[in-house]
Structure 1
Amino acid sequence: MAQPLALDVAAHGEATGWRKGEHLIDALAYIDPLSQEEKAAVDALIMEELKSSTKRPQDYLKEMPALPDFNLEGHPVLKAEYERVKAGQPMAQLDTTRYRLDEPPLNRRNDVAAWKAALDNAHSQLEHQYNRLLNLELLLQFGPKAWQAHIRHLEVGHKRLEETLAETRKAVEAVNRERKVVQLQAQSEMADYESRWAATVAKNREIEAACRELETHLASLRQQLPAQDSGAEKDPFGVREGVGEGSDHTGANGQASEMDES
């Protein structure tokens, strides 16, 4: 299996992000072949790591930085609601008595204050219904134009987001295209280097085999030398004898040349 390319130079996200200190692994996805056997082996390693890991999916959120503290000063209602949700308490039910026209209970039918409270409740609901009618009239009069203006505003925002999305996709495609071109250009060079490396390794093995063969041959020659001749043991190839004969011959030639000159 091809080894992934580990970059020595840390990227910005590795140096300053929440993944600080971890290795940045980058594979050549456009030229690195991945067979089904290798993919199955990788999946098996991942499953083995997941089985042996004590970390659960919900634990991965612990690696994320903590959320900033909310400043709820001056907002008592939001603060109380936040504390309620934090404590896991249920939401208080809405009081619907103000939306009903209930009569006083039977034991207070002769109580003037109870009838006065019921009458005040009826007046409040009547005023609320009047406000609803006013809102409906305003909606019928100005609602279409307001909604049309709101829709135009949403269309402008939608168009702007679509342009941003198109630019982002275009930039991503440009980056991927550039990566593919660079990797394809480097593929031939990497193949050349790999073939050179293989040839060098093969040549080194041939040289090692030849050296071992020479060592074996020299060892066999040493074993064939006569052990009785001490001179042969000291000079097994007769180098000293040849040198002596050569020197005597040179000296004789030198004397002969001197006699000729005289």
Structure 2
Amino acid sequence: MQAHPFLDALPYYEKGYQEQDRAVAMKLVEEEVVRSGGTKLPNPSLDEFTTPFKISERMQNAVQAAGRGEKLQSININRYINLQAPGNPGSLMQSAIALEYLRSREDNLELLKKHGESAWKNHIDSLEEILQNMEREIQTTRKKSQICNRKRKHYQLEMGEKLVDQESQFGNLLLNSIQCRVATLLTSL
């Protein structure tokens, strides 16, 4: 079985070719060369295709695997056949929208880079001012609530004393009333 460099350079290797298959493939290659404006190919020898440089270890492994009849898994030419634009008819519009979004995002990032630090410092300063105002309000509210609680306590103590006086007066009046009734009952007997 004669090896032919044009046929062996195909991007896959399935099994050993029959001479008849090689002849048919070579004929198709020659017809295509003539049809595309080239000349008929000479029958090259293997010596013409030897390389003066060293083949990489990966390539040597691939050649050895091909020699054993294994398929090369890393080469897939299906993606180069019948190429179609990705996506659907609306993809162009979606891409345009995404591009505009990214442009506005880029503008925002440039503005942030240019003015962001000062804006951030101003925001932090305003937050600190708000915090100080809130702390002042809390202190004022605490003072007012302490004053209110003291007044309430003073009022409750004052009312407590008045209540004790009223209770003792009521007790005295009740005692006087009972003594008057007993005296009245004793005199009427």
TM-score, length of structure 2 as denominator length: 0.50
TM-score, length of structure 1 as denominator length: 0.37
